[in-house]
Amino acid sequence: MLSPRFSAALAFAAELHGNQLRKGTSIPYVSHLLAVASIVLEHGGSEDEAIAALLHDAVEDQGGLPTLERIRARFGDAVAGIVAECTDTHEDPKPAWRPRKEAYLAAIPHKSAGARLVSCADKLHNARAILADFRRHGTALWARFSGGEQSAWYYRSLADAFAATGPQPLAAELERVVTEIEGLMASSGD
């Protein structure tokens, strides 16, 4: 069962991300956080992991290290640790996209099991959204991403990294979705 801590984290996530939309859409960003938390819980995640799922983008998108310290004070070291492991940068402006993503990929084998669960759930939800948008918009969808079409390379690399480290069966689902994206890209001539 989830405690009032989860409800507090949900309210905090909504406060932090309430004015944010998913890239290139009119979808409230909080929907992504709810989806990631749902995937974490559906794959056996603990309450701390589900809370971290709700807050996994807070440091990167909503205030950097001071936000991480607010998370630590409100939800404890375990949640803050997972959030920190899931954050690819706390710098503003963000460093260059490719080196930042390469560093994130290199760190996956060294992440805690909880951070790999949250990260893989995050990447799976993102990949599912990319797949749905590819079906609707074709290659034009890449324009909304900082990495453009290199985002396909990143998701293939993520799928490979999680296949090697887990968590399973979540990593297998990420592999399936990424392979489907690659198939659509190949059939569209990219």
Per-residue DSSP letter, 108: G
Q: Is the pLDDT of residue 23 over 90?
A: no
* pLDDT mean over 150-168: 97
Q: Does 61 qualify as catalytic in the annotation?
A: yes
Of 61, 55, 56, 57, the C-alpha closest to 93 is 61
Per-residue DSSP letter, 110: G
By percentage, how much of the chain surpasses pLDDT 70? 99
Residue 17 belongs to domain spanning: 4-187
pLDDT in tens, 37-86: 999 999 999 999 999 999 999 999 999 999 999 999 999 999 999 999 99
What six digits make up the tokens of 64? 């950097």
Output the pLDDT for position 68.
98
* pLDDT mean over 23-49: 96
**3-class DSSP state for residue 28?**
strand
Q: Of 61, 160, 180, 182, which is the active-site residue?
A: 61
Q: Is the pLDDT of residue 190 over 60?
A: no
Output the pLDDT for position 64.
94
Quote the CA–CA distance of 42 and 32 in Å, as a whole number.
Answer: 15
Output the pLDDT for position 188.
85
* pLDDT mean over 125-139: 95
Phi, psi of 21 (to 5 degrees): -115, 155
**3-class DSSP state for residue 25?**
coil
Phi, psi of 95 (to 5 degrees): -65, 175
How many structural domains is the chain composed of? 1
Output the pLDDT for position 20.
94
Give the model's confidence band at 92: pLDDT under 50 very low, under 70 low, under 90 confident, else very high: confident
What six digits make up the tokens of 171? 């990593």
Q: Does 15 qualify as catalytic in the annotation?
A: no
CB atoms within 10 A of CB 109: 10
CA angle 71, 52, 84 (to 5 degrees): 65
CB-based contact 51:35 (threshold 8 Å): no
DSSP lists the bridge partners of residue 2 as: none
Quote the CA–CA distance of 34 and 16 in Å, as a whole number.
Answer: 14
Q: Of 47, 48, 60, 88, which is the active-site residue?
A: 60
Owner of token pair 């009032």: 4
Residue with the larger pLDDT of the pair 131 and 189: 131
Q: What is the CATH number of the domain that holds 49?
A: 1.10.3210.10
pTM for this prediction: 0.96
Q: Is the pLDDT of residue 106 over 70?
A: yes
* pLDDT mean over 19-40: 95
